[in-house]
Amino acid sequence: MLRVDHEVPDLKALRKLGFVADMHFHTSYSHDCKTSVKDIVAKARKLGIWVAITDHNRIGGVLEARKYKNAPVIPGIELCSKEGKEVIAYFYKDTDLKRFYDTRIAPWLKDKNALRSSRTPFRIKDIMLWLEQERCVIHMPHPFAPHPRKAYPFFRRQRHKPLLKGFDSIEVLNCFEPCKHNLSALGWAVQLDKGVAGGSDGHMLNALGSSVTVSKARSVKQHLDNIKRGHVHIVGIELKPHQRALNYAKGTVATKFERGFTGGIKKAARFPKKAPKLGSSVFLTK
């Protein structure tokens, strides 16, 4: 049973249902984020949830999390292809992620100024081919995001359609996407008979847990398997347009400028603590 609720997650109640995880979060190892791994782990423990660390083209955040005993972290990475399309890979074991990264990714990456694009020199078809040989869940984030990250029209083209077979799941609730984009992603995932997941895509600590994926699991392995099958309950709330702009400016743009030059924006919008008066829920069976 797949269920998606567009509302502020009641984490205490959701924890009673099973495994709760924010499946898309960045750390200071991403070029556009300065939130420390230590703070992320501490807050995840406080909230009683897991967090998938999915830094841009880097795995330093996952490796640092090893230092904290029993850190509630799911190992992942968000890779950006030469074409500007992004793919998240959730690994069952951080050792497998490290081996994959050290052999396939790290030797070919170059250090970039923080203001430059996060694109890698790898074509999307090569990234997909490599990941299909790994024991991981291949996930498509924010398929209706603005260009150039927008994946939907890219994978609808005849020459790219075969690549869709390699994806195990699609992100259907991202806090930094408008509700209509998330609903479109959900409809597409159902049409393709893909698994689904939701995550905050947070770059700042206040975003952690604002979109979560819940399943009846007792381990990371069971949770990732449930995502692939679509046996999940996703709960989260999208930011309003002005909140998205402020948080993006503070968490991403300001970080790029601070690392590339100097400057920044002082305040960012807060995530809502109460559910809005009007929300939407989607119930689907799969």
Q: What is the pLDDT of residues 144-171, one digit of tens each?
A: 999 888 999 999 999 999 999 999 999 9
pTM of the model: 0.89
H, E, C per residue of 118-146: CCCCCCHHHHHHHHHCCCEEEEECCCCCC
Q: What is the pLDDT of residues 204-240, one digit of tens each?
A: 999 999 999 999 999 999 999 999 999 999 999 998 7
- Order of strands, edge to edge, in the sheet holding 136-140? 195-199, 169-174, 136-140, 86-91, 73-80, 50-53, 19-25, 211-215, 233-236, 2-6, 280-284
pLDDT surpasses 50 at 255: yes
> In the chain, what are the domain boundaries?
2-284
How many helices (H) does the chain have, and how many strands (E)?
10, 11
Give domain 2-284's CATH number out of 3.40.50.2300, 1.10.443.10, 3.20.20.140, 3.50.50.60: 3.20.20.140
Phi, psi (rounded to 5 degrees) for 51 = -140, 130
Neighbouring residues of 161: CB distance < 8 A, sequence distance ≥ 6: 155
pLDDT surpasses 50 at 265: no
